[in-house]
Homo-oligomer: A and B are copies of this chain.
Amino acid sequence: MDCKKFVEEQISQIKQTVGDATAINALSGGVDSSLVTVLGHRALGEQFKTVFVDNALMRQGEPQRVVKTFADMGIPVELVDAREEFLSALAGLTDPEEKRQAITDTFYAKVFSRLVRESGAKFLLHGTILTDIEETIAGIKRQHNILAQLGIDPEEAYGYSVLEPLKTLRKDGVREVCEFLKLPAEISQRIPFPGPALATRIVGEVTRERLTTVRAATAIVEEELRDSGAFQYMAVLLSDRATGIRDNKREFGQIIVVRCIESTDARTATATILPWDKLQHICERIISEIDDVNRCLYDLTPKPPATVEYI
């Protein structure tokens, strides 16, 4: 693939399409939206606005880290604090589909659509890749017409346009372009992380307190398995509790599951065979460093029949 040619063509096409107007995009920190951010910025400079929405579901220090990574490249990213909106939309929900829907609705119909309107932008840059389009056609992924999701009616919306500069690439192509552009490894080599973020690692209700628990466990698992070479690794907080005993007192504590997988494309996966001393060390840290957790389990299940995430 000719990365130089790809970059030049996309920059020139974005410039030409947007003209004197302004454009906006939402950066998630993932590789696709990161590349769109860089291309949009190179094409449009100050006519381009990038927002990072803190939905309360991010990992430890993640919003600040992403903003800083881009600031270091000279790209300003506006950090939008929408934590309360997401937490109140999630309150009381335990059904996985309802939780996912609440996050999608809050992001598109409330937060991002408001940011689009306030920005005055008529162009949206979006990180759709070829696999997204193929999976939508195959019925695996739900249609994600971004304008419809933003609640922008085609009639009313006259003048809004969506640009999808990555729609001819697959994930490996996206990474290749990132490397060509010498983007930091924390962008180009970022391990997969789901859109609904830590909400997919909480079985049961997503609350501020439970996010604190799974966030602390995630930090431990990511720190300990960073050099494992595994495809993906995560911590999951269950809703069940189990008996335990601490300081001679019976307690009823929370349960963290560690999941670490080998995969090439996430369509199938197997549990990573980790060294026992590493597993024991992770368990020891989780039960001693995190309040109210007294069990640590390792997920042995391949995909299928399990999925990678829990909700």
Contact = CB atoms under 8 A, between A and B. Distances in A.
Contact of A297 (B273, B294, B298, B307): B298
Interface of A: 96, 203-204, 238-246, 250-253, 257-258, 271, 273, 276, 279-280, 282-283, 287, 294-307, 309-311
A287 B305 contact: yes
Q: Which of A244, A258, A303 has the most CB of B within 10 A?
A: A244
A252 B96 CA distance: 9
Given A307-B245, A311-B242, A301 B276 contact: no
A245 B300 contact: no
B300 A240 contact: no
B300 A294 contact: no
Contacts of A307: 242-245, 250
**Which DSSP category, helix, strand, loop or mixed, fits chain A's interface?**
strand
A103 B172 CA distance: 58
A271 B277 CA distance: 12
A251 B280 CA distance: 31
A161 to B, nearest CB: 34
B203 A240 contact: yes
